[in-house]
Amino acid sequence: MTRLIDAYDVALFDLDGVIYLGPRAVAGAVEGVAGLRASGVRACFVTNNAARPAQTVADHLVSLGLPATVEDLVTSAQAAVGLMRRELPAGARVLVAGTQNLVDHMLEAGFQVVDTAADEPDAVVQGYDPQMTWPRLDEAAYSVQNGARWYACNTDSTRPTERGLVPGAGVAVYAVQVTTRATPIVTGKPFRPLLEEALRRTAARNPLFVGDRLDTDIAGANTVGIDSVLVFTGVHGKHDLVAAEPALRPTHIAADIPALLRPARVARADADGFRCGAAHVTAPGGVARIDGDLATLDAQLDALWALAHLVWAGGVVDYETALGDLNAVH
């Protein structure tokens, strides 16, 4: 039996919504990663969240039963400081609109951290900070308006937690952007710096990115030209997948991480539509229709994959009723 993961040597995992939701592990994540490692696949955890030090994140993973060290992690804060070292002069003044972790990265890189626009920073770097205040955003906005080079660790608009979605770093970035009408240099997904750093560190030959967001994880994988899998454990679901533009479309879909140890879904076109597993999806008169047994989650994911390919191929006017039949998929 050929498994989805058998084509890859490194699995790059997003964290929020894929490995954990707040303090809790996503169902099957710990066992799934263990199974991949037992198969000889390296696991690397790639996160847009710049709030916590890599060691703290590694400790969190260990507490969930998933062995990890800082060498297994790549963060957007690390990507940001790497890029800033290349683009800014030594000892440049940097205003940090982020957590102490981001401050520490700047200090370790030899930058001078300042607190206000009056300190005439050469650059502003912004990252997720749950304790962010309006006065700190004011200073970032003043600095950008005064000509400081502006970096953002990520622009995720939301962040999944065990209780639901909350505003992400992108909300604070947007506040500065709409104020200044400037555009930041973004280091996290879907932009190249973070993923290129992960690929460099792992020396991956055939990497696979595993994520729950189309706009960051899947788009980022497509940006650097690697395969991806969308898992349905976090932010984006069936409606997002079917409506996705080409740049946001994954190579694979899976219910969760353990599904990577099973065969990949393959959607094939026929004279009437697309087939995947036992599911056949057609669109007579432009209205999508699913034929096949939909009693299990796997069967519904087969149908969803066939439906997505049919919609992406064009000619489908109405697919909402068909999606409604897939009630086991969020």
Cα(266)–Cα(191) distance, rounded to whole angstroms? 28
Phi/psi of residue 204, nearest 5 degrees: -65, 140
Task: Determine the pLDDT at residue 226.
Answer: 98
Q: Is residue 273 part of a domain?
A: yes
Predicted pLDDT of residue 263 = 97
Query: From CA 95, how far away is CA 124, in angstroms rounded?
Result: 5
- What pLDDT, on the 0 to 100 scale, is given for residue 1? 79
Tokens encoding 51: 């709030």
Residues 21 and 36 in one domain: yes
Taking alpha carbons only, the member of 278, 285, 330 closest to residue 303 is 278
The pTM of this model reads: 0.92
**Domain of residue 229, CATH code:** 3.40.50.1000
Residues composing the chain: 330
Across the chain, the runs of DSSP E, i.e. the strands, are 10-13, 20-21, 24-25, 42-47, 73-75, 93-97, 112-114, 123-126, 149-152, 158-161, 164-167, 185-186, 207-211, 227-231, 252-254, 268-269, 273-276, 279-282, 289-291
**Total tally of structural domains belonging to the chain:** 3
User: Does residue 231 belong to any structural domain of this protein?
Assistant: yes
- Helix or strand holding residue 297 (H, E): helix 297-313
Mean pLDDT computed over every residue of the chain? 96
Strands 273-276 and 268-269 come out as antiparallel
Tokens for 102, please give them: 């981001």
pLDDT of residue 327: 96
Instruction: List, for residues 14-68, the tens digit of each pLDDT value.
Output: 999 999 998 999 999 999 999 999 999 999 999 998 999 999 999 999 999 999 9
Contact indicator for 301, 253 with CB cutoff of 8 Å: yes
Last residue of a domain, one of 149, 167, 186: 186
Q: Given 219, 241, 261, which residue is the final one in a domain?
A: 261
Q: Which residues pair with 175 in a beta bridge?
A: none
The domain in which residue 214 lies consists of: 4-48+190-261
Verify that 119 and 167 share a domain, yes or no.
Answer: yes
Structural contact between residues 27 and 219, judged by C-beta atoms closer than 8 angstroms: no
Quickly state the pLDDT bin for 194 (edges 50, 70, 90).
very high
pLDDT recorded at residue 160: 82
| Both tokens assigned to 175 | 């506040």
Query: Which residues are designated catalytic?
Result: 14, 16
Structural domain ending residue among the three candidates 151, 186, 221: 186
Taking only the tens place, the pLDDT of each residue in 135-168 is 999 999 999 999 999 999 999 888 888 899 899 9
Asked whether the beta carbons of 60 and 20 are under 8 A apart, the reply is yes
